[in-house]
Amino acid sequence: MGVQQLSVFLENKAGRLSEVTGILAEAGINIRALSLADTSDFGVLRLIVDQGEKALDALKFNGFSVAITDVVAVQVDDQPGGLHRILGLLHEVRINVEYMYAFVHQSGRHAVMIFRFDRPKDAVDLLQKNGIRMIEGDALYRM
Amino acid sequence: MIFDMEFETLPREALEAIQWRRLRATLERVYATVPFYKERFDAAGIHPNDIRSLSDLQHIPFTTKQDLRDNYPYGMFAVPLENVVRIHASSGTTGKPTVVGYTARDIQMWAGLMARALSAGGATRQDIIHNAYGYGLFTGGLGVHYGAERLGASVIPVSGGNTRRQITIMKDFKPTILTATPSYALHLSEVAQEMGVSFADLCFRYGIFGAEPWSENMREEIQQKLNLKAIDIYGLSEVLGPGVSVECYQAQKGLHIQEDHFIAEIIDPHTGKVLPFGQTGELVFTSITKEAFPVIRYRTRDITTLDPSPCICGRTFVRMQKVSGRTDDMLIIRGVNVFPSQIESVLMEIDGLSPHYQLVVDRVENLDTLTVMVEIGETLFSDEVKALQGLEKNISYRIKEELGVTAKVRLVEPKSIARSQGKAVRVIDNRKI
């Protein structure tokens, strides 16, 4: 069920984000989803792209600190209570969501959320058992 | 007022006669009691008997901070530990402090020198001294305290910190002399302002400030903001603590070195040759009365000049200029000695941390701040912000533990720290000193 996410360390300085997008554009990489977490000094840019390996190489080549993390892409019913149901299931077994963000595209009548769990394997098993669909990396990158 | 008229106004020949007698006795004693000095003298082919005049002092090898460090903690003591009644320490270059000891007589001597110094700075037995130097391993607090008591003044041992309470004490107890680091003095003035207290309404006459370098501009600012006359005092724990030299309030021009207890030399820091009066170089001290921790030709790394011209205050002791710099990379941050190598060794103890760092020192609202910039490499980088913030906190905590100085740690991108000719610029000091 693994989806690979790239994280990039960015100082809070003008132009750093556009430098990253520039490098990706030049390498012909399409950004599928992203989120930016920031503090007063630095930010962590989290990206899901269509060609992970290539993006990783390009960013490292340009001197960025990059990490790869396994995240889970979950289909959420696009209706009131859709997200709440999933979070409720996770809460019952005390699986923590470290962070989450929305995927750019919808798939049919569903929204797609990217989750970073503290116990990803347990989370995937739980969601599967409860009939909640998740999207494989390969499918997601092509969406 | 001159506290010790007999000694502080000695004619030069009489002073040199005393210095010579005390130097001889000191050399004989350290040779007999401190293995380090015996080995060092023997290696240089010098015996105390070869020293036949004050000017022969220049043939004796130097003592450095490294020597003190190599003999940590008690190796440089010249008396058995049972005769030591006080131990102080200052930070060293490897995280280990330099340990100094005092016999009961050393403490008495020090109190006497501090009483002289406070007098030179304008204090009398009628004064109330607000002593905001830190009490503890640092020599500042207790050094001033004992001197104030010897002088017969009233001393308020407030120590550092708790600034708002200090302002209240100043308002209510009406102290007339302030002793503190110059940066803390300015910080006091700002906090007073926030509290709606004006120094013009307080009772201060003089402030005696030291333990860190400060400029003439800073003196003017302090005098104006704190409505008092600002006096510079100098000392280092390896030699004594505060009271090695002090300005007189009459001239405020150069610090009188207490030459009946310390012989000062100025040397060329590269060749080690002694320079004549008036030339700029590194200050070197030999203590000639201390019992527990005598130092022979100790290199202070402080850069200054000596002025033997007569002073309007009547003291005959030579005056050293305000210290203008250092021959090493030591930083003084809020009175704490910090070597970049100490920070480096803290960083190196953290697995996966890049060896690229930079120290940025600044003065914000008159308090020194230290920011440690560390490049974040692949190993420690995390997608989680809280993990990165935890790393910053951990580094900051370790620096505080090792060096006793508060540092803000900032993670920066790889290769973002400026490298000049392949060598990283380790320190950026933005303080206008």
Query: Do B317 and B386 fall within a single domain?
Result: no
Domain that holds residue B287: 5-328
Assign domain A70-142 one CATH number from 3.30.70.980, 3.20.20.140, 3.30.2130.10, 3.30.470.10: 3.30.2130.10
Query: Do B316 and B336 fall within a single domain?
Result: no
Give me the CATH code for the A3-69 domain, please. Answer: 3.30.2130.10
Cross-chain CB nearest to A42 (options B383, B384, B411): B411
Nearest to A66 by CA among A54, A74, A76, A78: A54
Q: Does B419 touch chain A (CB under 8 A)?
A: no
How many Å lie between the alpha carbon of A109 and the closest alpha carbon of chain B?
30
Domain closes at, from B328, B349, B369: B328
B49 secondary structure, DSSP code: G
Are the Cβ atoms of B378 and A63 closer than 8 angstroms?
no
Q: Are B215 and B182 in contact (CB under 8 A)?
A: no
Mean pLDDT over the full length of chain A: 89
Query: Do B45 and B60 fall within a single domain?
Result: yes
Query: Do B70 and B116 fall within a single domain?
Result: yes
Contacts of A7 in chain B (CB under 8 A): 381-383
What digits encode the pLDDT tens for the residues A102-142?
A: 886 666 678 888 999 989 899 999 999 999 989 888 888 87
How many Å lie between the alpha carbon of B406 and the closest alpha carbon of chain A?
18
Q: How many domains does chain B have?
A: 2
Query: Do B340 and B420 fall within a single domain?
Result: yes
Task: Say whether A70-142 and A3-69 share the same fold.
Answer: yes
Q: Does A41 touch chain B (CB under 8 A)?
A: yes
Q: Does B379 touch chain A (CB under 8 A)?
A: no
* Strand ranges inside A17-96, DSSP E: 31-38, 42-49, 66-77
Q: Where in chain A are the domains? A: 3-69, 70-142
Query: Do B209 and B90 fall within a single domain?
Result: yes
Query: Do B320 and B340 fall within a single domain?
Result: no
Among B residues 149-178, those touching chain A with beta carbons less than 8 Å apart: none
| ipTM summary value | 0.81
What phi, psi does B269 have (nearest 5°)? -65, -20
Domain closes at, from B298, B328, B358: B328
Query: Do B287 and B358 fall within a single domain?
Result: no
Q: Are B395 and B350 in contact (CB under 8 A)?
A: yes
* Strand ranges inside B45-201, DSSP E: 84-90, 98-103, 128-131, 154-156, 177-180
Query: Do B340 and B310 fall within a single domain?
Result: no
Query: Do B363 and B272 fall within a single domain?
Result: no
Cross-chain CB nearest to B413 (options A37, A64, A99): A64
Query: Do B145 and B250 fall within a single domain?
Result: yes
Query: Do B324 and B337 fall within a single domain?
Result: no
What phi, psi does B365 have (nearest 5°)? 50, 45
Say what the pLDDT of residue B183 is.
Answer: 81
Residue-wise pLDDT tens for chain B (433 aa)?
A: 899 999 999 999 999 999 999 999 999 999 999 999 999 999 999 999 999 999 999 999 999 999 998 999 999 999 999 999 999 998 654 557 899 999 999 999 999 999 999 999 999 999 999 999 999 999 999 999 999 999 999 999 999 889 999 999 999 999 999 999 988 898 899 889 989 999 999 999 999 999 887 888 789 889 999 999 999 999 999 999 999 999 999 999 999 999 999 999 999 999 999 999 999 999 999 999 999 999 999 999 999 999 999 999 999 999 999 987 788 888 888 878 888 878 888 888 888 887 678 999 998 877 889 999 998 888 889 999 999 999 999 999 999 988 888 999 999 988 787 655 444 568 888 886 5
The CATH code of the domain that includes B380 is 3.30.300.30
Among A residues 57-116, those touching chain B with beta carbons less than 8 Å apart: 63-67, 69, 98-99, 116
